[in-house]
Each structure stands twice: as C-alpha cells, then as structure tokens.
Structure 1
Amino acid sequence: MKKILALSILVSAAFALHSQSLIGSQLKSKEAIILYLIEQEKVAHDLYRVLDTMWVTDVFNRVSNEELQHMAKLSAVAGEFMIDVPVHFNEYPEGQFVDGKLRRLYTDLLLAANFSLEEAYRACANLEERKMLDLKAALKQPNFEIETLTYKALLIGAEDNLKLFIRELLNINTGYTPVWLSTSEYEALTKNILPNDGWRNTDHNAKSQSRISLF
C-alpha cells in the first residue's frame, strides 16, 4: 500500500509541474515552442531507451526509435525558420536536458516506471498524453503550413503510442485512467483497443528482476 501511495504521489508530482501546456502562456515565440518540443521528444526517447534495458518487451525499443524520427522532423522545421538547434540536444547523454521542467519530468517518470512493468507502461502513457496536450497547444498558435503538418503528424504518433501502452496494460489485465484527456476524448480514442491487438512481445519478465533498483 505504501509503495502504491508513493507511486501515486510521484506521478502526480510529475504532472503537476504545469497544470496546462506552457505553449501559448510561457512559451510564445516560434523558437521557444519548437525547441521545447524537440527536447520533449528527447525526454520520451531517453525514457524509452532506459526502459528497454529493464524489461523484456519490444515495445520500448520501437517507440524510442520513433522519437528519434520525431526529433529529426522538428529539427527540420527549425531549420526552415533558421532556428539554431543547440548541438547539445543530440550530444547530451541520455537523461540530461536543458529545460529544468523536462529534466524533473524525466526523473519523476523514470522513478515511477521502476516499480513494475505495469507502472512503466502507465508512466509512458502519461508522457504521451502530455505530448498530445502540448502539440494541441502548438497547433493553436499562428503557424505556417510546415509547422501545422509536422505537429499534426506528431500528434497522430503520440495518439498511436498512447493506444499502444494502453493495449499493453490491457494485456496484463489492468486498466488506465487518463491524466489530461477528457472522458469523451479518451473513450473516442480508445474505443477500438483490444488486448493482444497488433504486434507485441508476450514475454513480460523483467530483464533485471534481480537488479539493484535504479533509485
């Protein structure tokens, strides 16, 4: 019970960093928005890479590779507007970030994901919801076509990843409660999700069941 309560507090703290998207409120310039979204994709990539070393499932490896593609797409958009993407976005070791809020988010989610494979899927689903919130906020800003098309494509990718993690939770006979989506949005997005739908690795044993805890 104490472990469950601690986990709940950790996840709540991670997503209480800002109750709504920073985009449009604190992040208003095109440069600030694009650079934030690039580093947010790095958070997802780095988190999924670490989780791939912890659990025997192909899920994390697949989505981590997708996040690299997302970073590349956003960097291409930045290039179109002559926005200099700091080289450290690509050269920083995994788990290191420029934005303090994203750095805290990564740490909190990784800690939550260390409890069990179930909580790893749950933390990742939370992150994909967070990405959806920010991408929707970015789409409301004055954008050129290349931005709109890129943000819409990444939003579809985040939705697909969210559904993937929810499906994996169903496969281990547990559910998911959305953090950012409304009930109607969540039901519309997930109404056709079934356990064992699509590709998956059925071996859910931890790669490191006897590992020393990360924290």
Structure 2
Amino acid sequence: MMTRRRTVLTAAASAALAATITLAGCAADQQPSAVSTPAASSTTSQSVVLTATDESLADQLRYLVEEEKLAHDVYVTLGDQWGSRIFSNIASSEVRHQQQVEALLPAYGIEDPRIDQVGRFTDPDLQALYDRLVAEGSRSQAAAFQVGVTIEETDIADLKAAMAGSPADVTAVLESLLSGSQNHLAAFQRQLA
C-alpha cells in the first residue's frame, strides 16, 4: 500500500540528511509550514529546527493511522456482506491498532487525518485502494479472505519499512502492530486452507 509513497519519502529523507531547515524568529502569529517534534523545538529561543526526516515521520504516521483505518473499514464492510466472524474480530483489533498510532500523533504535533466515516479517507490513494479491495472482496467469500491476506501482507511490509530509523516510541508501537498483523495474516490464511 505504501510502495509508491515510501519511495517518495525515502528520497525526501535522503535529501534532508544533508540539509537542516532552520526557521528563526517565528512570530507568535506565524506557524512554520512543517511539523516539528518536541525534541526539535528550543525552549530558550524563538528558533524551530525542522528536518525533512521530521516531515517524513509525520507523513509516515499520518499514512499509517489511515492505513490501519483502511484495514478496519474493509473488514467491517466485508464482514457485513459475508457475515464471517473473522472480519468482526480482526476489525476490533484494527481499532486498537489505530488507537496505538493515534497516541503518537500529539507528541509529534501531527493532526489526525482520519475521517470519522467507514470507507472515507483523506489520502486519495487509500480511498482508491479501499474501493478496489471492497470490490474484489465482494466477489466471493474466498476473495474476501484473500483481500484480508493482501491487506495484512502489505501492512507487514509497510511496518517493517517504517521501523527503519524511527524513534524508539514509534518503533515500539510499530513492533506491536507488526505482531498483530502477523496474527491476522495467519488467521486469514487458515480460512483459505
């Protein structure tokens, strides 16, 4: 799900390693356009130091919380259609996954991008993906289980990629999500066996 985005973020992060953006003397009514982490702001001066790596982390966390919402919303929709308990059980777990990522957002000054409606996303790529996965999963119950496999395999790959270079608090959450996604993947694979 994040392949194209991950490539863009990696390129941006690489470019940022060479250059740190310093915004000095920000007036009280002017906000920098970038997101700063608590560690990036100084309490003794008016300067805010931002790096593209901070921006990459912010983009990554916004994407991950919506990606967990996508999994939840697909499972709710397919569960309503097919009535299989696996979808409702894993959808409940996806709510907890969203809450874990959501808990990180304030610490990094990130606004929650989620729309409080099943099947609606701020990220147009995730919106298109949701629509495609629901269409695929609506063909048959076996196809719905395969959609679950696809979502969890993609989540696992995205989480592993996101862990590289993440702060310790983010890594701890991502490791928890990874463990859950591995369990979900095994559950969907059992349905197809």
- Quote how far apart the aligned CAs of 1:168 are: 0.8
Which structure: greater helix fraction? 2
Q: Distance in 2 between matches of 1:169 and 1:136?
A: 25
Asked whether the equivalents of residues 120 and 127 of structure 2 are also in contact (C-alpha less than 8 Å), the reply is: yes
Gaps spanning 5+ residues in structure 2: where? 14-55
TM-score between the two structures when normalised by the length of structure 2: 0.72
Contact 1:21 1:137 in 2 (8 A): no
Aligned to 2:9: 26
1:131 aligns with 2:170: no
Give the match's secondary structure for 1:74: helix
Q: Which of the residues 130, 136, 140 maps onto 1:116?
A: 140
Match of 2:88 in 1: 61
Residue 158 of structure 1: aligned partner: 181
Report the Cα offset of residue 26 of structure 1. 3.1
* Residue 34 to residue 24, structure 1, CA distance change in 2 (3 Å): farther
Structure 1, unaligned stretches of length 5 or more?
Answer: 1-14, 171-215
Contact 1:24 / 1:138 at 8 angstroms: preserved in 2?
Answer: no
Of the three residues 52, 65, 78, the one matched with 2:105 is 78
The answer to whether the Cα contact below 8 Å between 1:21 and 1:133 also exists between their aligned partners in 2 is: no
The answer for the alignment partner of 1:147 in structure 2 is 170
State the Cα deviation string for residues 109-155 of structure 1 (Å, max 9, x = none). 11110111000000111011111111111011x22211111111101
CA shift, 1:90, in A, is 4.6
Quote the RMSD (CA, aligned, Å): 1.7
Match of 1:103 among 123, 127, 130: 127
Match of 1:11 in 2: none
The structure with the largest alpha-carbon Rg is 2
Q: Corresponding residue for 1:43?
A: 70
Alignment deviations for residues 141-178 of structure 1 (CA, whole Å, 9 cap, x no partner) = x22211111111101111111110000111xxxxxxxx
**TM-score (norm. length: structure 1):** 0.65
Percent identity at matched positions?
A: 28
